[in-house]
Every structure is written in structure tokens, then in C-alpha cells.
A and B are shown apart, each in its own frame.
Chain A
Amino acid sequence: MIIKDSFLEEKYYDVIIVGAGPAGITLANKLEEKKFNVALIEAGSEDFSADSQEYYIGENVGEFPQETDVSRLRMFGGTTGHWGGSSRPLDAYDFNNWPIKKKNLDPYVEEASKIIEVKNEFREVPFPNSKNLKIIEFQVSRVRFGEKYFNDMKNSKYIDLFLNTNLLEINGENGKFNKANCLMNGKKINISAKLLVIATGGIENSRILLLNERKEQKLFATKMPIGEYWYEHPFSELGKAIINEKIINSYLRTDLNHFVNMYHTGDASVTYSIAPTENFIKDNQILNSCIWLVLHKRTNKGWKNLLKDLFCIAPELSNNMLKLIDRKVSCGATLYSSWEQEGQKNNKIVLSDKIIDKNGYPGPKIIYKKSNLVKRTAKVCVEEIGKYLIDYNIGRIRANSFLFDDEESFISGAGWHHMGGTIMGDNPKNAVVDKNLKLFGSKNIYVAGSSVFPSGGHANPTITIIQLSLRLAEHLSKII
């Protein structure tokens, strides 16, 4: 049922979940199946509003390219209100520094796929005759959690959905949470429960803990790296190419014939996602990565400029390629990549001393810089693809200058994927939550969402967020 104005403070819930994005909604639905009473507290309303988004304003220091109030949505359904839906679980080797492994999340991938209404098919095939590259498959979800689940929440017997209700403070004593102090439509209320789960997204999870860190009540361990090891997926165009479309299409499309058209730029027609293999990553000591080779439509005449450039340094090759383009065998292409960034202590969310939100609390400040390893990863992967194209004579790449010019500043976009800040680990010196997502030093406060990922590979995070929420629901069901 939806709680909008009046509310009985005496009601005692089994669980309070703060945040109704995919992390919070998945958890609430699973707990409802087990007939637990849940208060789902959502700061926004059913619809998007500029007024609500204003609470999300933050500060950026360093290289982070996106504003904090546009890279997430403060409304029921969370950021999936405008997500792209690309989905793929993490690779086994992305879990190297996690206290749990891929096998601990695999049991939830089928159900997570059902929730986002995609096939549980995330195949990969080796790149023909290459030990270093593989082709990987993404599924694209069209589910918006807000639209999909609003009516279910309205009619739910066990979930009370509080809209326009902003968590302000967490209260309790001796490591035990008991009350969530919230502002509901401008009115202060207290909501009580046995357990609290914070599921407010990859920036807010850190901010809420930072805001509650200095309390005398000692709700959780002190000196944890809250906000630290925060990272994104750098996203960038890495270069252009002339590609033998016939060979690429016939060979690559046959094995994964419903391969998703990942990247819908104006001119994208067919796209394949290429990734380095585990051994290649290890041998070259790079991060995980994913590169889309987006073949241009014939109407895109970008190849003309490419061949003109090439003519000045390799005229014969340029002429041969021109012939292949005329015979409609080859075409132009663009290489885009979204890849891993390692968590680093100095990349972090802290509380801003400039931005104060409309409730009077400091906004988030993102301090962010990419390491040389991030740039080297992109360079090594492009070189490997370039080498493959040369070895089999199926194309040539013109790589963007920032990959090779050390003095050129490396500016990249980001994948809209906020990860880290409350990372999972074995002890509170270098992590914030344990393998069951419980805050170190707390008896009953949990965190859900990508802020708990110690590393995020290259894959879009939401399906992993959902897998983790399903696992958390199972854990909480046993202890409530």
C-alpha cells in the first residue's frame, strides 16, 4: 500500500528499506514473498520532478565528467527510469578481490534475468583463432522498475511504500539501529523496524553513512573507508577503422546470430562487443574491458576522410581499401569502449562544504581521477584488435591520439555506473560491509547496491545489483 500523508508511528516493521530503485524494490518484493512487513522509503514520488532532482545536486572535483543530479534519478523506480538496460553479469575473474565469488551469485542470475525480462543468455565465444580476444553477449532490458512495480506496491499487503519520504538520520544505540528519522512531505516522522537496509544508489549510500558517521550512538564501526574506493566505468571512443564487413559479418554473426545491437548511435547498424580473455588480462596486467566495433551504414561517408588520411602514409593500402568499399565489401567503423576502473582510496565521495541540500544536509562531493592503468588498458586492447585485423587482413584501425600521446590529457566519459564507496570485504580496515552486506560494527544495518562492489569489471552493474539483493533477501529471511 502507498503511504502518502498519515502514518501510524507505532507500527513496527520487520525491515525498512531506504530507496526504491532496482536494489530496494527487488529486496522488498522478495521479503514480501516470505510475508515480512516492509517499509519501503522513497525520497521521490511516482514521477520525475525537477524539484526532487535538486536534492541530488553535488560537487565534482577532478576528472569526473557527469553532474550528480543528472546521472541518477530521485523517484520511484530509481535510476532505471532512464537507464539503457544493457545487462551482463560480471566475469568470474572480476571477483578476485571480493569476499564472495561468482559461484555465490550464479544461483540468482536466472531470477534476476526474469525480473529485468531478458533471456538468461550471456554467451561468449572465442574470437576466431585468437587466444586473446573473445566476443561477448549482452542482453538489453526494457524494464523500468517504476512502471513495472508501482501497481504491485499499491496493492501489496506486506509492503508499505512511503513516497516523498527522505531518510534524514539513522537512530539507535550500541550498534543497534531502531528508528529511521525521515521527512515525509515536509513533516518529520520516525519509522521503526528490526532491520534497516540502505539502498539509495551508488553515491547516496556513501553520503548517508558519512552523514551518520559522527554520531555518539556508534551505530557502526568507526574509521571505515566510507566513500572511498569509488569508481565508474570510463567510456570513450578509442578510434575509427576500415573493416572488411563481409568477413566480420559472416564469421562473427554466425555463432551469436541474435547478437545485440548494443550501441544505437545514429549510424550504428551492426555492433559486436569484443573483450580481452582472462589470460590476456593477466599476461598484460591490465583491467577488464569491452569494446564495440560499430560498423557504419553506407550512408556514413566518414570512411572517405579515413582513406584520405591513410593515403598520405600508405597509398597502396588506401587504394585497395577504396576498391573494397566500392565493391561494398568493406566499410567504416568506430571503436567505443567501456572498461574497468580500479577502486582507489583517493577516489572517493566526501561531504561537500559548498553544497547544502534543501533539508540542510551537505551534498556529496566526488573526488575522482583515472590512473595510468586505465589508459594503458584501453591502449593494449586497441593494439590487440589492430594486430588481429592486420594478421587476418580484415581491416586497419586509426587509434585516437590520447592513447599514445603521454602528454595529452585523457578525457573520457563515464558509464553512468556509480560503484564502490561502501565496499564489501573481510574487515573494517579496508571495507565497509561484510560478505552478507552488513555494516561492520552494526547489529542490524545493511547496504544494497553497486556501492558494495569491491571491483566492477566492465559489465553494466544492475543485474549484479539485483543478484546481490536476491541473495540479501535470502540471508535476511533466515535472521529476521
Chain B
Amino acid sequence: MKKRNFIKVLFSIFIIPNFLFEKKKVIKRKYSKNYWLLSKNDK
């Protein structure tokens, strides 16, 4: 399998069971003027 296809398959395995992902709320955290868009689990 070509590398690109392999990565694609790999990525689809991760991405297809969409419902398994807990949709995370975006939290905004300001750091020196601009805003990072982060998940609440981002430590």
C-alpha cells in the first residue's frame, strides 16, 4: 500500500467512529492579546 493511502486508511479508522468522540466544548484562553481556542482537557 502506498504511504499516502496507508495514512488515509489509518486516519479514516480514527475518524469514522465519529460518535465515539466526545464533542469537546471550545474554551477561549487569552494570552498576551490573542485567544487560543482550546479544549478544557488541554493542560
Contacts and interface: CB of A to CB of B under 8 A. Distances in A.
Contact of B43 (A128, A246, A316, A389): A316
A315 B35 contact: no
14 contacts: A239-B34, A246-B7, A250-B4, A313-B31, A314-B42, A315-B43, A316-B42, A390-B26, A396-B42, A398-B36, A398-B37, A401-B30, A401-B34, A401-B35
> Which 9 residue pairs are nearest across A and B when measured between Cβ atoms?
A386-B37, A250-B7, A316-B43, A314-B42, A390-B39, A317-B42, A397-B37, A399-B35, A387-B26
Contact of B36 (A310, A316, A391): A310
Contacts of B14: 392
B38 A317 contact: yes
B26 to A, nearest CB: 5
A288 B30 CA distance: 27
Interface residues of A, number: 33
Given A314-B36, A390-B39, A403-B35, A383 B26 contact: yes
Nearest to A399: B35
B25 to A, nearest CB: 8
Contacts of B18: 129
Contact of B35 (A128, A251, A312, A398): A398
A401 B33 contact: yes
Contacts of B39: 390
Interface string B3-22: 01101100110111010010
Contacts of B35: 398-401, 403-404
B11 A399 contact: no
B15 A392 contact: yes
A309 B23 contact: no
Contacts, number: 92
Interface string A115-132: 000000000000011000
A247 interface: yes
Contacts of A270: none
A396 B36 contact: yes
Please classify how large the interface on chain B is, using the bins under 10, 10 to 19, 20 to 34, 35 or more: 20 to 34
Contacts of A310: 31, 36
Interface in A304-360: 309-310, 312-317
Contact of B24 (A128, A239, A390, A400): A390
A328 B32 CA distance: 27
A390 B22 CA distance: 11
Given A129-B15, A251-B8, A404-B30, 10 more contacts: A247-B11, A251-B15, A254-B4, A316-B42, A383-B37, A387-B24, A390-B26, A392-B14, A392-B21, A401-B34
A468 interface: no
A246 B3 CA distance: 11
Contacts of B30: 401, 404
A382 interface: yes
A254 B8 contact: yes
Nearest to B22: A391
A347 to B, nearest CB: 29
B21 to A, nearest CB: 6
Contacts of A383: 26, 37
Contacts of A254: 4-5, 8
A291 to B, nearest CB: 14
Contacts of A129: 15-16, 18
Contacts of B38: 313-314, 317, 390, 396
Interface in A227-275: 239, 246-247, 250-251, 253-254
Contacts of B16: 129
Contacts of B43: 314-317
A397 B30 CA distance: 12
Contacts of A312: 31
Nearest to B10: A250
B37 A313 contact: no
B40 to A, nearest CB: 10
Interface in A373-409: 382-383, 386-387, 389-392, 396-401, 403-404
B29 A313 contact: yes
B33 A396 contact: no
B18 to A, nearest CB: 5
Nearest to B11: A251
Interface in A110-161: 128-129
B4 A313 contact: no
A404 B5 CA distance: 39
Contacts of A314: 29, 36, 38, 42-43
